[in-house]
Structure 1
Amino acid sequence: MQKPSAPQTRLVTEGLAFGESPRWHDGRLWLCNWGTGEIVAVDAGGNSEIVLTVPAVLPYSIDWLPDGRLLVISGRGGLLLRQEADGALVTHADLRNLSKSPWNEIVVDGRGNVYVNGGGPVPAPGQHFGPGTVVLITPDGAVRQVAENIAFANGMAITPDNRTLIIAESHANRLTAFDIAADGTLSNRRVWADLDGFPDGICLDAEGAVWYADVPNKHCVRVREGGEVLQTVTIDRGCFACMLGGADRKTLFIVAAEWRGFEHMVSEARTGQVLSVEAPAPGVGWP
Structure 2
Amino acid sequence: MTTATPEILLTDLVFPEGARWHEDALWFSDVHADVVLRFDPAAGRLDRVAAVPGGPAGLGFLPDGRLLVTAGHDRTVRRLERDGRLVVHADLSDLASWHLNDMAVDGHGRAWVGNYGDDSAPPAPPRPANLVRVDPDGTTTVAAGEMLFANGIVVTADGGTLIVAETRSTPGRLTAFTILSDGTLTDRRTLCTFAPSVLPDGLTIAADDAVWVASPFSGEVLRVDPGGAVTDRIEVPHPYAVALGGRRGEDLFVCSADHWEPDLARTARSGKILRLRP
**Is TM-score (shorter-chain normalized) higher than 0.5?**
yes
Deviations 1:30-50 (A, max 9, x none): 110111111111121443222
Cα distance in structure 2, aligned partners of 1:165 and 1:68:
21
1:223 aligns with 2:224: yes
Tell me, in whole angstroms, the C-alpha distance in 2 between the residues paired with 1:11 and 1:116: 30
3-state SS of the aligned residue for 1:77?
Answer: coil
User: Do residues 42 (structure 1) and 39 (structure 2) align?
Assistant: yes
- Residue aligned with 2:168, SS: helix
Q: Give me the identity figure in percent.
A: 35
Question: Residues 116-195 of structure 1: matches in 2 within 5 Å?
Answer: 116-118=113-115, 120=117, 122=118, 129-172=126-169, 173-195=172-194
Tell whether the 8 Å contact from 1:115 to 1:135 is kept in structure 2 after alignment.
yes
In structure 2, what is the equivalent of residue 55 of structure 1?
53
Alignment TM-score, normalising by the size of structure 1: 0.88
Letter in 1 for 2:202: G
Q: Deviations over 1:195-236 (max 9, x none)?
A: 12111000111233110001111111112245422222212x
User: Alignment RMSD, CA only?
Assistant: 2.1
Quote the residue 1:89 is aligned against: 86
Residues matched between the structures, number: 272
CA deviations on 1:222-277 (whole Å, 9 max, x unpaired) are 12245422222212x31101000001111000111113x64645532111111111
Q: Which residue of 1 aligns with 2:256?
A: 256
Amino acid at match of 1:19: P
What is the alpha-carbon distance in structure 1 between the residues aligned to residue 227 and residue 213 of structure 2? 14
Take 2:177 and 2:167, find their aligned partners in 1: how far apart are those partners?
16
Q: Which runs of 5+ in 2 are unaligned?
A: none
CA contact (8 A) 2:11 2:272 kept: yes
Residue aligned with 1:97, SS: coil
Shift of 1:53: 1.2
Gaps of 5+ in 1: 280-287
DSSP-derived class of the 2:9 partner: strand
Residues 29/66 of structure 1: CA separation in 2 closer, same or farther (3 Å cut): same
Q: For each residue in 1:100-140, what CA deviation from the matched residue of structure 2 results, as whole angstroms up to 9, or x when unmatched?
A: 411111111001111111154x4569959522221111123
Report what 1:205 is aligned to. 206
Bigger CA drift: 27-36 or 225-234?
Answer: 225-234
CA distance in 2, matches of 1:184, 1:98: 17
Instruction: Give the TM-score normalised by the residue count of structure 2.
Output: 0.91
Q: Does the 8 A contact of 1:6 with 1:277 survive in 2?
A: no
> Which amino acid counterpart does residue 78 of structure 1 have in structure 2?
R
